[in-house]
Amino acid sequence: MSRGGGGGRKRVRTARGRSAQSTRWLERQLNDPYVKRAKAEGYRSRAAYKLIELDEKFKLLKGAKRVVDLGIAPGGWTQVVRKQIPQAAIVGIDLLPVDPIDGATILQMDFMADAAPDALTDALGGRPDLILSDMAANTVGHQQTDALRTMALIEAAFAFACDVLEPGGAFVAKVFAGGADAQLVAEMKRAFTTVKHAKPPASRKGSVEWYVVAQGFKGGEEA
């Protein structure tokens, strides 16, 4: 990945009303090669490269025909899917409004709502064979509370996947603190042929985020 020209690392002065933390975040954004690459290649967020790198390792998108993007905002992962497999049907769902993406259906609703599974499968024209989730719970700054909230979200996404996935399908979700807990991993291994954790290079070194990649959904009673 090229660093580009422009005389080295950019520094940001601490402006009135801007906290030191905000200044550090802005400086990191300005010097992040993935942020620069996302702008150059038309992706809405640097997170697009996390999916690109996960796909390079696990071949997630190869052969996928119907894809669900849970927590689609701002849309970077769906953009990757559209570019890599333009023939696939893709539906994104989020509580937040998301600007349209050509070739994708976007639903503004809670994926845990009773109506969500039918709405997604109707929009896709069938059961998905790939469910992607880059969701994270809103943090409150208390590590234990944040971990519990995030784990609850992952468990809900996994339950949703078991309800709607096509046999043989795959499920990818963001997790924290080294991965999903042992009980959830055990449940995933009963429902999928393989379950692995990965930290793509685009995930910042200082970040606690990982991804769990479950492939080969068994369907039926195993799930």
Longest Cα–Cα distance in the chain: 60
Across the chain, mean pLDDT equals 84
Same domain, 162 and 176: yes
Whether the per-residue pLDDT at 187 is higher than 70: the answer is yes
In degrees, rounded to 5, the angle at the alpha carbon of residue 213 between the alpha carbons of residues 207 and 218 is 160
Q: How far apart are CA 119 and CA 14, in angstroms?
A: 47
32 labelled binding-site residue:
no
Same domain, 117 and 214: yes
pLDDT per position as a tens digit, 1-36: 333 334 455 554 555 555 655 555 444 554 567 778
Same domain, 33 and 104: no
134 labelled binding-site residue:
yes
- Give the pLDDT confidence score for residue 213 in this predicted structure: 97
Residue 69 CA: distances (Å) to CA of 10, 15, 29, 116, 179: 34, 37, 25, 13, 20
114 labelled binding-site residue:
no
Question: What average pLDDT does range 104-125 have in this prediction?
Answer: 95
Same domain, 165 and 58: yes
Same domain, 154 and 185: yes
Whether the per-residue pLDDT at 133 is higher than 60: the answer is yes
| Segments forming the whole domain that contains residue 150 | 48-222
Same domain, 161 and 75: yes
Same domain, 67 and 157: yes
Number of domains in the chain: 2
Same domain, 148 and 196: yes
Q: Model confidence at 215, in pLDDT bands (50, 70, 90)?
A: very high
Q: How far apart are CA 141 and CA 139, in angstroms?
A: 6
Any domain includes 4: no
Same domain, 29 and 82: no
Same domain, 23 and 129: no
Q: What positions carry a catalytic annotation? A: 174
